[in-house]
């Protein structure tokens, strides 16, 4: 496995692989790799011939006052995980490598970035789309792998790729969960053992939503009320949003129909946690 710290190096390695006719897969991450990331890497290794994992804590997707400085950066452990998983290249650039001068060019996806996480993190998706566009230009992958855990991100990235005619496939992998149902996240390590236990109510609330839809409840306000009851039981929890939206447009819906995305954001102690489920309620 090669470790490329510069754009020049990763480009030269990919160039050789491409010349050999290999299918290139990219897994963009911010590091602190866990079983969620590993599932994306495994999917890439299975479906591609040459896999690049990028590890970059992207400053432009953090809001002022967020955890950019204290975000975990265990690079050596991450490299071990990548090696074991069969990764060909880890691209681990410095902020200076990715943003050598003040960034005045941005990729902005409109509308889809306004609801849900966009409300409390107004600059977040602009940072995500900009860094992903840069990574796609640097690595030129045939396919890039993202997790359903960040549902709004997957929809925003897919829209960017379609709108800008980027020649790659976006593959979405299922959310990996801890045994108690909590979605695995690099930020879970900010939680105490008790908070981790309490955070299981996030997934419980999503399961309640699925059960109510399966049982025929169609009024979203009724479902949201039941979900909120569970989330309010989290002692150090502060609900940011509980939303049921159209799974494609992300617009709020009052009545369940077709494919819906139920998404939750809760602050528990120092960790802002998000989770979601997709439900196809038919007609
Ligand atoms: P991050 O390092 O948090 O930026 O995440 C990198 C990629 O891993 C994103 O596409 C995430 O959606 C994905 N990811 C993070 N957590 C999980 C999880 N629990 N299950 C599946 N994918 C995940």
Ligand 1 atom nearest 149 alpha carbon? 12
Per DSSP, the three-state class of 174 is coil
**Mean pLDDT, rounded, for 59-69:** 97
Closest CA to 267 of 233, 230, 236: 236
**Mean pLDDT, rounded, for 223-236:** 97
pLDDT > 90? residue 176: yes
Ligand 1 and 272: CB distance under 6 A? no
Residue 132 Cα to ligand 1 middle (Å): 14
Ligand 1 and 175: CB distance under 6 A? yes
Ligand 1 and 171: CB distance under 6 A? no
DSSP string, 58-101: -GGGSPTTSSTTTS---HHHHHHHHHHHT-SEEE---HHHH-SS
Closest CA to 61 of 91, 20, 33, 98: 98
CA 177-180-183 angle, to 5 degrees, is: 30
The pLDDT tens digits of the residues spanning 244-281 come to 999 999 999 999 999 999 999 999 999 999 999 999 99
The tokens describing 192, both together, are 């105490």
The pLDDT tens digits of the residues spanning 134-157 come to 999 999 999 999 999 999 999 999
Ligand 1 atom nearest 31 alpha carbon? 2
Residue 206 Cα to ligand 1 middle (Å): 18
Average pLDDT along the chain: 98
Residue 29 Cα to ligand 1 middle (Å): 7
Residues that are catalytic: 37
pLDDT > 90? residue 283: no
**Mean pLDDT, rounded, for 87-105:** 97
Ligand 1 and 54: CB distance under 6 A? no
The pLDDT tens digits of the residues spanning 26-55 come to 999 999 999 999 999 999 999 999 999 999
Ligand 1 and 131: CB distance under 6 A? no
The pLDDT tens digits of the residues spanning 197-217 come to 999 999 999 999 999 999 999
**Mean pLDDT, rounded, for 59-82:** 97
Expressed in percent and rounded to 5, the helix, strand and coil fractions of the chain are: 40, 20, 35
Q: What is the pLDDT of residue 282?
A: 83
């Amino acid at each position: 496995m090669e470790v490329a710290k510069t754009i020049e190096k990763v480009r030269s390695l990919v160039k050789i692989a491409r010349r050999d006719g290999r299918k290139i897969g990219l897994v963009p991450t911010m590091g602190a790799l866990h079983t969620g990331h590993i599932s994306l890497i495994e999917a890439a290794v299975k479906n591609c011939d040459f896999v690049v994992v990028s590890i970059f804590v992207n400053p432009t997707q953090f809001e002022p006052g967020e955890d950019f400085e204290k975000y975990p950066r265990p690079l050596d452990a991450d490299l071990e995980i990548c090696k074991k998983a069969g990764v060909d290249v880890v691209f681990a650039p410095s902020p200076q490598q990715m943003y050598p001068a003040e960034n005045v060019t941005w990729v902005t996806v409109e509308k889809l970035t306004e609801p849900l996480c966009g409300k409390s993190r107004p600059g977040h998706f602009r940072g995500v789309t900009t860094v992903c566009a840069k990574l796609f230009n640097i690595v030129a992958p045939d396919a890039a792998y993202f997790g359903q855990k960040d549902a709004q991100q997957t929809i925003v990235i897919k829209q960017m790729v379609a709108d800008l005619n980027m020649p790659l496939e976006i593959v979405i992998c299922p959310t990996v969960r801890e045994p108690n149902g909590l979605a695995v996240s690099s930020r879970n390590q900010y939680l105490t053992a008790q908070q981790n236990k309490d955070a299981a109510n996030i997934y419980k609330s999503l399961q309640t939503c699925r059960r109510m839809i399966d049982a025929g409840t169609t009024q979203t306000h009724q479902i949201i009320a039941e979900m909120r009851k569970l989330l309010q039981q989290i002692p150090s929890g502060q609900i940011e949003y509980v939303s049921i939206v159209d799974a494609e447009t992300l617009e709020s819906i009052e009545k369940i129909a077709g494919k819906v995305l139920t998404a939750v954001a809760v602050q528990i102690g120092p960790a802002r946690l998000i989770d979601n489920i997709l439900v196809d309620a038919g007609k």
